[in-house]
A = this chain, B = another copy of it.
Amino acid sequence: MTLTYPPLDREGAEPLWMQLMRALRAEIESGVRLPDQPLPSEAELSDLFGVSRTVVREALRELVQERLIYKVKGRGAFVAPRKTELRFIGSMSGSADDLRESGRRVTTQAISQTLGEADEREAALLRIPAGEQVVRLRRLRRVDGQPWLLVVTALPARLVPGLERAILENQSLYDVLRRRYGLEPAAADRWIEAVFPDAEEAALLEVSTSTPLLGIESVAWTKDHIRFEAYYALHRSDQTRFYVGIR
């Protein structure tokens, strides 16, 4: 009993492997395929979708990367056991709320809000072509007056028209995104690294350029896999600690 599939679009719209990946992901996330159940073999998928095994393997590779499936050599590919949904608590709102609860004064200062073209890193994170228009927000967050966190957020302009003119001072970005644009974060990828600030960043955070900071790269997407926000945050970890909380 195999499902039937609409033919893939071969007119260059999108790579075949990406279309195939989406089709399989939709099946898995819709619950049609149950955890630990085998997917059709690579050869079968080739036939079903009318593409080469190269395309199938590329698609499966991405799904393995996303932890949606796992593969066992000699047996096949299987649906990964459903993970508990990672409830997305931004270091932005989440940690600010935590700190406020603990009686500290948290303020957010908008450094700049501009329209611009996505650079390589942002484009890769948001899965958009480099050069596409993005709204870029630079904000400085203070705790008890002390600089604490510097964030550069990029959002595809077509998803958030007019955001560059919104007043975000001391207002949760996620609230605005949800209320005004209907963007609800469902999950995010984050990378944490130790970095040095450049001269401007150091000045804003009031540290020397040789002070190691916590750099957090993040990309957030909705349940429909629309990647709507990428940010890079620089964190002073000497004064206030950075933490991730679950609520």
A residues adjacent to B (C-beta < 8 A):
70, 72, 83-87, 98, 120, 190, 192-196, 212-214, 237-238, 241-246
Q: Are B120 and A84 in contact (CB under 8 A)?
A: no
Known contacts: A84-B212, A194-B87. The answer to whether A244 contacts B242 by CB under 8 A is yes
Q: Are B120 and A214 in contact (CB under 8 A)?
A: no
Nearest CB of chain B from residue A134's CB, rounded to whole Å:
19
Q: Which residue, of A85, A87, A212, A244, has the highest number of chain B Cβ atoms within 10 A?
A: A244
Q: CA separation between A33 and B237, bound complex, in Å?
A: 32
**Chain B residues with CB below 8 A from A98, complex form:** 241
User: Would you mind naming 12 contact pairs between A and B with Cβ atoms under 8 Å apart?
Assistant: A72-B120, A83-B193, A85-B194, A86-B193, A86-B194, A87-B212, A194-B246, A237-B245, A237-B246, A241-B243, A241-B245, A242-B243
Report how many copies the assembly holds: 2
In the A-B complex, the 7 residue pairs with the closest CB atoms: A243-B243, A237-B246, A84-B194, A241-B243, A84-B195, A86-B194, A214-B246
Measured CB to CB, the nearest residue on chain B to A235 is B246
**Chain B residues with CB below 8 A from A192, complex form:** 86, 190, 244
**Chain B residues with CB below 8 A from A86, complex form:** 192-194
**Chain B residues with CB below 8 A from A120, complex form:** 70, 72
Measured CB to CB, the nearest residue on chain B to A246 is B237
**Chain B residues with CB below 8 A from A238, complex form:** 246
Q: A212-B246, A242-B244 are in contact. List 9 more A-B contacts (CB 8 A).
A: A70-B120, A72-B120, A83-B195, A86-B193, A87-B194, A98-B241, A214-B244, A214-B246, A237-B245
Q: CA separation between A246 and B86, bound complex, in Å?
A: 24
Nearest CB of chain B from residue A211's CB, rounded to whole Å:
10
**Chain B residues with CB below 8 A from A243, complex form:** 241-244
Q: Which residue, of A70, A72, A213, A241, has the highest number of chain B Cβ atoms within 10 A?
A: A241
**Chain B residues with CB below 8 A from A214, complex form:** 244, 246
Q: CA separation between A224 and B214, bound complex, in Å?
A: 24
